[in-house]
Homo-oligomer: A and B are copies of this chain.
């Protein structure tokens, strides 16, 4: 077993140095460095990486970082919720979200047309512009064909975007499928519905997207997962792995608590009882806010992999 080591400040310390030192500090700092190492190992081992995140992370400035990870081939399959899809498109169209406060006067915000997500704000205007461009995009796609799977639809949309910091843009150009199992759960769903009212033969085949999910990997291939937050995106990424025999490498980051038995809080240990990740897998669960934890763990991993010439 390793010994606990005191950390000391040295001016200009890099993120990589700090994360390495945190590995000997204690509590979540130890798990954080472990997570960073698991990410490095999955890439060294050339694993297919499933990456899931929740929509609030796309609301935040993590969005461009996620796009960069796709561009760098750090992740190979994405699962997220429709809120994140919508907001990635809004941002690709130039919309700006704002930094607010957790304790706000929500009635006043409503009157100002500001929608709060924790301490961030999304203007109503962004939703209105999104509606306009959705119509335009769906018109274009409908001319190509009438029936899409969700991941195909999202790739087609990604190809219409023009923003290097966009998740959909990079995914479409780097052959990374985006799965979104609850595609109708948001403004996006409502616009699909309105479009279908005018074009009754327009359909999404959600069942057939299972084919695409099956095509993402194989039993023989090494597989890894990075699950940020919980919910349906985490669950679906795990399902994608399970149908291929489970993950060899797993990193979960969440604020949810195991004590209520929710999927969001389920640890990499619980996952072993299901065969979701293999019994002998390399796994780390870090508790805390992804907006801080993930850049730390991933930036150290990127520094290491860059030094090794893996990326």
Contact = CB atoms under 8 A, between A and B. Distances in A.
A264 B260 contact: no
Given A27-B261, A273-B115, A63 B6 contact: yes
A102 B207 contact: no
B292 A97 contact: no
Contacts of A24: 61, 99
Given A29-B292, A258-B118, A3 B99 contact: yes
Interface stretch (A43-51, A218-226, A297-305): A297-305
A310 interface: no
Contacts of A229: 260, 262
Interface residues of A, number: 126
Contacts of A115: 273-274
Query: Which of A14, A192, A196, A231 has the largest number of chain B CB atoms within 10 A?
Result: A231
Given A11-B306, A102-B259, A239-B185, A120 B292 contact: no
Nearest to A79: B185
Contacts of A208: 193, 196
15 contacts: A6-B165, A9-B68, A12-B16, A14-B15, A15-B18, A22-B291, A22-B292, A27-B60, A29-B291, A54-B263, A107-B272, A117-B266, A186-B239, A256-B256, A257-B257
